[in-house]
Structure 1
């Protein structure tokens, strides 16, 4: 049996579409065959809620009187990039407070960054803005101090260069001191292990070759509607794979875009990792159209069918040693064995909220408030991963 997205959308608009969350599908496959499930369901909804620091907001302030051309700008003390137009800004979620002239943080006790400012704006809060201008004949203003909110700025949308890793790693610390990382604190001597994927419920692991998504795919983003804009940075579809085609580590990523003015602050939250920095907790949901039996077969994977590498962060190199791979059933059990030692595990991804997003997206589709979008172009499947090399300048001395 085969369907098209147009046929599925017709069923959505008429109120006859059958939608299951990914968790519901996996449960029903215990009693249904792949062929039977394909006959019954039209769309599978997925969701994840996790830190996504490679995110940010594009903001257009609108012209001032007299006109201002931004040279430097701070939103609640957080610097925003202003080299993209007279009054256009890009605020990165991981951006932190400026350094003071002595080289220390302007406010060492302020555990706040760009993600918090973005979340506050989405929540409707007013944010102080301070700007310095590049004075020219057509932009004579030298500075600006004001308050902004999402209602007083023109455009305010998220453009996230790298979200939704298809798979990720498990972080551990084999050293003698605590480490503070993008996975959170890692305790010494293998005191804990942190993973950052929902395993068999992770959206892209159920579409390993990105057959069902592409540029222009409509998604749930931060409680509103967003789109896949491009491949994500560090997109690496050539990652090694198991026999079931799931990658054994970080692989595909997506660049996402969406109108922040329409988002729900419940699904966009600033966060801070101790001694590491700011990030953004973000909810993303991907609908998977059931075009044929292959879609259901791919979605039948279980946590024991998907693995992630255990990486030792105590070695400060790009290529770190590993303790092999572990499957997500073991990770979700709460403990794993590493070199004979029992190690506690914890997810950085909220498994509960990911399920809530899948349920919310299902409700939207059943109500006819969300239809599927045909991709305008596929995402590349041949990107290599290129590390940056260090080059030294030869000495000119004899």
Structure 2
């Protein structure tokens, strides 16, 4: 079976004219089961994972690097925004938004915007004192240039569409997805299988 692909220009034209045919993935599967893939494809332009409501299911993850003496993060605030310790002793995790119930609450989105704008943000860390991590408190300033690393993690997108892992480092890097050959020598793809939105809509642009 050969299904002719739709071009981006065709889909945009349908959208402008108000004729774009959009189905949720569950509805598209029902259409395939009742009429076959060819008929379902002919009657559908775009398949979406669910609805088009706002979601802030994402986190901003920042790697701070070590402090001397070591500190195990118990509580953290960055520009007044409460953050969670992540990745052991040197990572912060900030929800990207305040949630649908508190849309005006400051979150990782505001912190990311401030960092990208070149601002220095006040960082306050409270430590959980242990024999290996004796420091109890740290106060300083944090800017984009001082970050050891940063990731914007879109949990819902990963669950629905999968991940492509690559490495920019020289040589082989062991990863949860398998060995990565750098720089950019290979790419390993991981998806959620039959529930992946990308696999649900074959040949759709």
TM-score where L is the length of structure 1: 0.29
Q: Judging changes above 3 Å, is the alpha-carbon distance between structure 1 residues 21 and 52 closer, same or farther for their aligned structure 2 residues?
A: farther
Q: Judging changes above 3 Å, is the alpha-carbon distance between structure 1 residues 58 and 21 closer, same or farther for their aligned structure 2 residues?
A: farther
Work out which of the residue numbers 61, 72, 81 in structure 1 matches 2:75: 72
SS in 2 for 1:121: helix
Tell me the residue number matched to 2:130. Answer: 136
Q: Judging changes above 3 Å, is the alpha-carbon distance between structure 1 residues 135 and 376 closer, same or farther for their aligned structure 2 residues?
A: same
CA drift at 1:85: 0.5
Q: Judging changes above 3 Å, is the alpha-carbon distance between structure 1 residues 27 and 136 closer, same or farther for their aligned structure 2 residues?
A: closer
Tell me the residue number matched to 2:192. Answer: 379
Does the Cα contact within 8 Å between 1:133 and 1:143 map onto a contact in 2? yes
CA drift at 1:374: 6.3
Tell me the residue number matched to 2:163. Answer: 215
1:82 aligns to 2:85 (yes or no): yes
CA drift at 1:122: 2.5
Bigger helix share:
2
Q: Judging changes above 3 Å, is the alpha-carbon distance between structure 1 residues 55 and 28 closer, same or farther for their aligned structure 2 residues?
A: closer
Tell me the residue number matched to 1:153. Answer: 147
Distance in 2 between residues matched to 1:67 and 1:165, nearest whole Å: 35
Unaligned runs of 5+ in 2: 15-52, 167-175, 178-185, 197-205
Q: Judging changes above 3 Å, is the alpha-carbon distance between structure 1 residues 381 and 86 closer, same or farther for their aligned structure 2 residues?
A: same
Distance in 1 between residues matched to 2:141 and 2:12, nearest whole Å: 50
SS in 2 for 1:130: strand
Work out which of the residue numbers 88, 96, 109 in structure 2 matches 1:93: 96
Distance in 1 between residues matched to 2:11 and 2:165, nearest whole Å: 24
Does the Cα contact within 8 Å between 2:98 and 2:105 map onto a contact in 1? no
CA drift at 1:132: 0.3
| CA distances 1:128-170 after superposition (whole Å, capped 9, x unpaired) | 111100111221111011110111110111112124999xxxx
Does the Cα contact within 8 Å between 1:78 and 1:95 map onto a contact in 2? no
1:123 aligns to 2:109 (yes or no): no
Q: Judging changes above 3 Å, is the alpha-carbon distance between structure 1 residues 91 and 111 closer, same or farther for their aligned structure 2 residues?
A: closer
Does the Cα contact within 8 Å between 1:79 and 1:95 map onto a contact in 2? no
SS in 1 for 2:194: coil
Does the Cα contact within 8 Å between 1:56 and 1:158 map onto a contact in 2? yes
* Structure 1 runs of 4+ with >6 Å offset: none
* RMSD between superposed Cα atoms in Å: 3.9
Tell me the residue number matched to 1:57. Answer: 60
Unaligned runs of 5+ in 1: 3-19, 30-49, 97-109, 167-212, 219-228, 231-372, 384-398
